[in-house]
Amino acid sequence: MGLIEVFLIGIGLAMDAFAVSICKGLSMKKMEWKKAYIIGLYFGVFQALMPVIGYLLGIGFEDKITSIDHWLVFILLTFIGCNMIKDSFKKNDKDADENIDFRTMLILSIATSIDALAVGITFAFFNVNIFLAISIIGIVTFAISTIGVKIGNVFGDKYESKAEIAGGIILILIGLKILLEHLGILIL
């Protein structure tokens, strides 16, 4: 798995956080960059932390499932992607709250980064440099979430579901690419 794929996975994973960030921006009467940076930091840290946990779990199983790892990656990324697309059609007003206290942000950060745990498992199968991967994922999520707060504050919920759909499609396509490469159908 190359740097571009890790970057694209980072973008795909950040879409849940982006959607919630848009909701947070919607709830702000006046744009507050300090709050936007705090929101971005919470989401970025958790999106970087969860793949480490998944990676450590994946290393424990790597030798037992290397012959089917490409199928597992495809299934996991497709499942995550499909859930993101399905969730994009649900209206979720509970996130539209300006509150960024520790408890609120902890819950939102965990909820938006669960899929990153599964991606961390796939990183173990491909011997991805986990420190580089989590750095990319964390920075991408921080930036996208911070921008999401501003977009939500300016444009409203117009882009929230589109972002989740795009993130889901990216994850499904990456899973499909990995599967096709390992089956020898796609050679890059």
3-state secondary structure 129-180: CHHHHHHHHHHHHHHHHHHHHHHHHHHHHHCHHHHHHHHHHHHHHHHHHHHH
Give pLDDT, residue 57: 87
Q: Which residue has the tokens 């990656």?
A: 73
Side chain identity, residue 117: L
pTM: 0.73
Q: Using alpha carbons only, give the angle 67, 4, 63 rounded to the nearest 5 degrees.
A: 20
| 73-122 pLDDT per residue, tens | 788 778 877 887 887 787 654 445 577 889 889 888 888 888 888 889 88
User: Do the beta carbons of residue 133 and residue 123 sit within 8 Å?
Assistant: yes
How many CA atoms lie less than 13 Å away from 86 in the CB half-sphere?
6
Percent of the chain with pLDDT over 70: 88
Q: For residue 185, is pLDDT > 50? A: yes
Give pLDDT, residue 95: 44
Between residues 86 and 65, which one has the greater pLDDT? 86
Cα–Cα distance for residue pair 35/103, rounded to 1 Å: 15
Give pLDDT, residue 35: 94
| 120-163 pLDDT per residue, tens | 988 888 878 999 999 999 999 999 999 999 988 887 556 667 77
Burial class (CB in 10 A: 0-12, 13-18, 19+), 187: exposed
Q: Using alpha carbons only, give the angle 107, 113, 117 rounded to the nearest 5 degrees.
A: 125
Over residues 31-40, mean pLDDT: 94
CA distances from 104 to 9, 34, 101, 131, 147 (A): 26, 16, 5, 28, 20
Give pLDDT, residue 148: 92
Domain map (residue ranges) of the chain: 3-182
Q: For residue 52, is pLDDT > 90? A: yes
| DSSP-derived secondary structure letter, 13 | H
SS3 127: coil
Task: Return the closest-CA partner of residue 100 out of 143, 144, 141, 41.
Answer: 41
